[in-house]
Amino acid sequence: MAHDKTFYITTPIYYVNGVPHVGSATTTLLCDALARFHRLKGEKTFFLTGTDEHAQKVADAAAKAGMPAQEFADKVAGRFRDCWEYLNISNDDFIRTSEPRHRAVVAEVFRRLQATGDIYRGKYEGWYSVADETFFRESEVKDGKAIESGAAVEWVSEDNYYFKLSAYGDRLLAHIQSHPEFLQPETRRNEVLAFIKGGLRDIVVSRRNSGWGICVPGDESQVVYVWFDALINYLTATGWPGNAAWDSRWPADLHLVGKEIYTRFHATLWPAMLMGLGLPLPGTVLGHGWWLVDGEKGAKSKGNIPTPQEVVAELVELSGASPEIAKDALRYYLLRDISFTGDAEYSQSHLISRYNADLCNKLGNLLNRTLKMLAQYAGAVVPEGGAERTADGTLASLSREIVQDVERCMLAYDPGAALSVIWKLVEAGNGDIDTTAPWKRHKAGDTRGVADALYAALEAVRIISVLLTPLLPHVASVMREQLGLGEMPLGDWAHETHWGGLPGGRKTAEAQPIFPRIDTKNTATKQKELTPVTENMPPPPPILEVAEAPAAPAYITIDDFAKIQLKIGEIKTAERVEGATKLLKLTVDIGEGSPRQILAGIAESYLPESLPGKKIVVVANLAPRKMRGLESQGMLMAATDAEGHAILLHPADPDAVPPGAQVR
């Protein structure tokens, strides 16, 4: 029986071998923002998160702590619940893989796939990584470690159950190619296509029973492999198969995960399992990059990335903001700066710069100065007739464009892009006040001009509060409170974002700074600096009290420039560098008889197979240097687009210039 479809969004379920940190919080916050947006649009929404508890490394962590595995899992799962409650996450369900409801569904899935022959008994001999909970091929292992992750592997020989993943390669490729929205972003879709085209092998879906896990139906000597078990959680939460209304949720509209669990599991194994069950596939599987710290993935086990509670406590100490405002400040930074196409460098100094520049100087300043002028010039009462008189003004026209763009970004599952768009309206609001100068109009006796300038600014602030409701919910609520408005109603997005919604004659509250400024001059002894900003993230905007003259450019002479040899090169071969996520190893002909080897950090922007034959610009007289033990004999010239992607520079007419031609 069909039911009205609910918008169903999921985070991955998190391993309970450690406490949640800002990395796991980022994925959860992204889902939270999207779920809140769809509720704001009036859609029935179901948001699932939870914990993955049957991993061997969880059992190992429990043993190290001297606790039974279930007791240990209960304790750490509670920390995840507490952290999400602390961050005001609006999840509708929190699933644990040790729950009876999940155990029952895993057993049912296993039985059904056994009945169809998709699961069969066999013997496995090969490499296994406990840290990754992943089986690896011989070609994926080097020097006792998985090339992909660097984790140690061990040789195992066991009688296990297999899933016929190899039978689903063609069906998976057909679905991916006919549903371009299924795997996002495009860079990850291309990785999955390459992985499947490389040949799928049947995958082990059970392990020897060591006392922790879900027993294979009818064979208690084996437990279900943790990844086969974990992925089924998304189905369990729908009530499948016993709940008659399970299809009101399934298929999921969005699985949001980190890139490390994307290709093998969420984009290959999971859809194949669903195909085997005869169930529809999720609408979109979206993978984001990592937070890097000193070029490495941030992890609590490495001690290089903080918990959300630690960051919030420090923001409160440095700024004097309320804890709820500090939580939204952290939300802003994590949502705005996480990368979907690559990785981003986590930096406490950049967080503080974002706080001061974007939240304090721009958003907070717009709200505070507008309300103060309204109190001074109009007795804190919204001007009558302002909605009609400003409807064709600059801010009104821009707001209509911004609303459409924000909706487009959120429907494309990109809260960071939505925040970037909203800040265009924030900046325009401040700019409009500077241009209309209500203080000058007041001095000149232009009462109507003052009223219209103030109404336009107030209405822009109100619309900003609506747009921020799913993204910075507490900040949006405080903004509305100061505007004299109640909580944002759900289900009336179009009406609430329409210009003119702020009624004339309404009394506003007293202006109160939301974001107390952080004095960066006095934070050196307090601030725990984790990493400097790197090339993965644009430098933070300057924090200025007053306008300053721009610094003089660092000029070089024509003689300096003449020392640089730029030549046209033709890429002959391109391949990935083992163990590196960003580097490609190229051979490039620059007219010297034999090609040069050049290493370039462009793997997140270009597939190796797309590069041979391209003509590019090379710095030919750069001293050779070594990276990851390989010598690079030059450097490619590239620009960076708005999303941080590398764009190789190339001649407009490649056929007109041979390799080795000088670039002048």
Residues 206-213 have a mean pLDDT of 92
pLDDT given for residue 320 in this prediction: 96
pLDDT higher than threshold 50 for residue 94: yes
Q: What's the rounded mean pLDDT across residues 380-407?
A: 96
Q: At 500, phi and psi to the nearest 5?
A: 105, 10
* 532 has pLDDT over 70: no
Residues 6+ apart with CB under 8 A from 653: none
Say how many C-beta atoms besides its own lie within 10 A of residue 423's C-beta. 18
Q: How far apart are the first and last CA of the chain?
A: 70
Given pLDDT bands bounded at 50, 70 and 90, which one contains residue 377?
very high
The residue ranking higher by pLDDT, 100 or 632, is 100
- What confidence score (pLDDT) does residue 573 get? 86
Residue that wins the pLDDT comparison between 411 and 525: 411
Residue 578 pLDDT level (bands cut at 50, 70, 90): confident
pLDDT tens digits, residue range 340-367?
999 999 999 999 999 999 999 999 999 9
Higher pLDDT, 625 or 642: 625
Tell me how crowded residue 116 is: count the other CB atoms within 10 A of its CB.
11
Q: Which pLDDT value is given to residue 301?
A: 67
* Fold (topology level) of 7-288: Rossmann fold (3.40.50)
Sole residue written with tokens 């029986």 = 1
pLDDT in tens, 51-62: 999 988 888 888
Q: Give the pLDDT mean for 250-276.
A: 97
**Pairing mode of beta strands 45-52, 14-15:** parallel
The residue-averaged pLDDT of 279-296 equals 93
Where in the chain is CATH 3.40.50.620?
Answer: 7-288
* Overall average pLDDT of the 627-636 stretch: 82
This prediction has a pTM of 0.77
User: What's the confidence (pLDDT) of residue 645?
Assistant: 63
State percent of the chain over pLDDT 70. Answer: 92
Give the span between the Cα atoms of 381 and 374, in whole angstroms. Answer: 7
CA 414 vs. chain centroid, Å, equals: 8
pLDDT digits (tens, 9 = 90+) for 415-452: 999 999 999 999 999 999 999 999 999 999 999 999 99
- Rounded Cα distance between 460 and 501, Å, is 10
Q: Where in the chain is the domain with CATH 2.40.50.140?
A: 558-656
Highest mean pLDDT among 430-434, 564-568, 591-595, 657-661 belongs to 430-434
CA 69 to the chain's CA centroid: 31
Tokens 């400024």 sit on residue? 517
Mean per-residue pLDDT for 186-214?
Answer: 94
Which residues face 283 on adjacent strands? none
CATH number of 558-656: 2.40.50.140
Q: In 379-485, which residue ranges form alpha helices assigned H by DSSP?
A: 386-389, 394-411, 415-436, 438-443, 447-468, 473-482
> CATH 1.10.730.10 residue ranges in the chain?
313-319+343-522
**Band of pLDDT at residue 644, cut at 50, 70 and 90:** low
Distances in Å between the Cα of 384 and the Cα atoms of 372, 379, 381, 408 are 18, 13, 9, 33
For residue 514, give the 3-state DSSP assignment: coil
Across 147-153, average pLDDT: 80
CB of 140 closer than 8 Å to CB of 146: yes
Q: What CATH number labels 313-319+343-522?
A: 1.10.730.10
Q: Examine the pLDDT at 588 and tell me if it is beyond 90.
A: no
Q: Specify the pLDDT at position 138.
A: 79
Question: Does the pLDDT of residue 551 top 50, yes or no?
Answer: no
Q: How confident is the model at residue 136 (pLDDT cuts 50, 70, 90)?
A: confident
**pLDDT, average across residues 155-169:** 91
- pLDDT over threshold 60, residue 538: no
Across 167-196, average pLDDT: 97
The predicted pLDDT at position 591 comes to 86
Of residues 128 and 21, more confidently modeled:
21
Please enumerate in sequence order all residues whose Cβ is within 8 A of that of 61, keeping only pairs 6 or more positions apart, or say none.
17, 18, 72
